[in-house]
Amino acid sequence: MTDRFGDSLSRRSLLKAGGAALLAPALASPALSQGQSDVIRIGHLTPRTGFLGPLGEFAVQAAQLAVEEINAAGGIAGRKVELLSEDSVNPQTASAKAERMVQRDRVACLVGEINSASALAISQVAQREKILFINTGANSDALRGSDCKRFMFHVESQNTMMVRACGRALLDRGLIKGRKVYALTADYAFGHDLLKQAKKYFAANDATLVGEDLIPTELTDFSPFLLKLRQAKPDLVICNLAGAQITNFLKQYSEFGLPFPVAGFGFDTALAWGAGPGNFLGTWPVIWHHQIASPSAKTFVAAFKAKYKKPPENQGWGDYTALKIVAQSMNELKATESIKVVEHLESGAKFDIAKVREGYFRPWDHELMQEMFAITALPADQVKNPYDIFTSTGPLPGPGESLEVLATTRDENACTFPA
């Protein structure tokens, strides 16, 4: 879960990006013969402070692990990869740092972000400079639609995919059709977009929205809203908050002892761990989790645990996976030029993304087509350690379905790439 978070937009939102020192993109010269002949630099931007900071920390750790593994396997075309990591802070800072990385540090690509507005700001730099940017954590549908860019790709899922994945689990539990729903939503671009997609889902599945509140991102005391929930007596509480706010809300919800089922349409497993057994409640969508049984997922989890003494969470998966995609693509192409990588990703190339099925990018909006999951909190008396505190559905879509069934169609979210 994950834009999970951001400020305002021009749009919402970590994967790691790859970089080689190449000459100015406008000159379109071969990257492997230009600039820093000994290293390929990748610029990595993600929030390290604020309410998204805990997620950004996982992103940075996973990105560092990915680069270590890439270098141990021979780097990119025999050259060492160097990761330049920065705290993106806010959209203005993210834009300035992205521009500096491209123009001064000569990175081969940019990777990361969680805040949708910051991801939009970075994408504008990437498009202007004609350099690849892989978004690893910003979810806003607009980033794949009205704000889409030819040089921006998305490892992170869009909000619609999160809503539809969790919605399937809620439908199975009888919590949507004919039910009264109350929504609490983060008051910034990500939240606004998520609520918009949630309302579409409620309307399509005969649920009634009986209350909704926009919650400032700096709010820490939820008691006034918990009192409103107690009065409204909904059949389901939808928590469309962001980052550490979700952890705080769940703790306070448990303290109030409200009986209404809880769910949300944007989530990260670190937030469940922060709430802890007994406080973590409900059903939530995730793009990845550490219990997935595929061989590459087990390898990633084992390596992360060995290095950091804890399992990775889904934001870390995003940055790790993005960097591996960048390295694999550049090695196959024997080139680091962004336009060549863009064309390769648009060609239908498939990648092992630590899930059951391989993933691929749609050429018309650059969204990674992939499996998702819905997790549900375990009762406290069934929890055996601080991390395995939920059960999960199988992959969504299921084995017999197209990977594209959860994503928006062209008619729902049109994308026209700028020249």
What would the pLDDT profile of 226-271 be if each residue is shown by its tens digit?
Answer: 999 999 999 999 999 988 899 999 999 999 999 999 999 999 999 9
Fold exhibited by the domain 39-157+292-369:
Rossmann fold (3.40.50)
CA-closest candidate to residue 414, choices 148, 76, 156: 148
- Residue 264 in contact with residue 238, Cβ under 8 Å? yes
Q: Per-residue pLDDT tens for 273-294?
A: 999 998 999 999 999 999 999 9
- Taking the C-alpha atoms of residue 284 and residue 314, their distance in angstroms, rounded to an integer, is 13
Q: Is the pLDDT of residue 14 over 70?
A: no
Instruction: Tell me what the mean pLDDT of segment 380-385 comes to.
Output: 94
| Ordered strands of the 359-361 beta sheet | 350-351, 359-361, 368-369
- Shared fold status for 39-157+292-369 and 160-286+373-392: yes
Q: Per-residue pLDDT tens for 82-130?
A: 999 999 999 999 999 999 999 999 999 999 999 999 999 999 999 999 9
Q: Is the pLDDT of residue 21 over 90?
A: no
Q: Which pLDDT score, from 0 to 100, does residue 6 have? A: 39
Q: Is the pLDDT of residue 395 over 60?
A: yes
pLDDT band at 2 (very low <50, low <70, confident <90, very high): very low
Query: In this predicted model, which residue has the larger pLDDT, 50 or 416?
Result: 416
Percent of the chain clearing pLDDT 90 (strictly above): 86
CATH 3.40.50.2300 given to domain 160-286+373-392:
yes
**Helix 91-103 with 116-129: angle, nearest 10 deg:** 30
- Residue 13 in contact with residue 190, Cβ under 8 Å? yes
pLDDT band at 52 (very low <50, low <70, confident <90, very high): confident
CA-closest candidate to residue 37, choices 51, 52, 21, 55: 21
What is residue 21's three-state secondary structure? coil
Q: Which pLDDT score, from 0 to 100, does residue 270 have? A: 92
Query: In this predicted model, which residue has the larger pLDDT, 378 or 36?
Result: 378
Domain boundaries, the chain: 39-157+292-369, 160-286+373-392
Q: Which pLDDT score, from 0 to 100, does residue 110 have? A: 98
- Residue 225 in contact with residue 215, Cβ under 8 Å? yes
CA-closest candidate to residue 218, choices 3, 2, 4, 7: 7
Reported pTM: 0.89
Q: Which pLDDT score, from 0 to 100, does residue 54 have? A: 87
Query: In this predicted model, which residue has the larger pLDDT, 133 or 3?
Result: 133
CA-closest candidate to residue 46, choices 105, 87, 1: 87
Q: Sign (positive/negative) of CA torsion 360, 163, 188, 377?
A: negative
Q: Is the pLDDT of residue 77 over 60?
A: yes
The mean of the pLDDT values for the chain is: 91
Separation of first and last alpha carbons in the chain: 31
**Is the bond leading into 379 cis (omega within 30 degrees of zero)?**
no
- Taking the C-alpha atoms of residue 63 and residue 123, their distance in angstroms, rounded to an integer, is 20
pLDDT band at 5 (very low <50, low <70, confident <90, very high): very low
pLDDT band at 37 (very low <50, low <70, confident <90, very high): low
Q: Which pLDDT score, from 0 to 100, does residue 1 have? A: 43
Instruction: List, in sequence order, every beta strand (DSSP E) within 120-235.
Output: 132-135, 152-154, 180-186, 208-215
What phi and psi values does residue 118 have, to the nearest 5 degrees?
-70, -40
Q: Per-residue pLDDT tens for 186-207?
A: 998 889 999 999 999 999 999 9
Instruction: Tell me what the mean pLDDT of segment 166-190 comes to.
Output: 94
Pairing of strands 39-46, 80-87: parallel
CA-closest candidate to residue 316, choices 86, 140, 54, 123: 54
DSSP 52: G
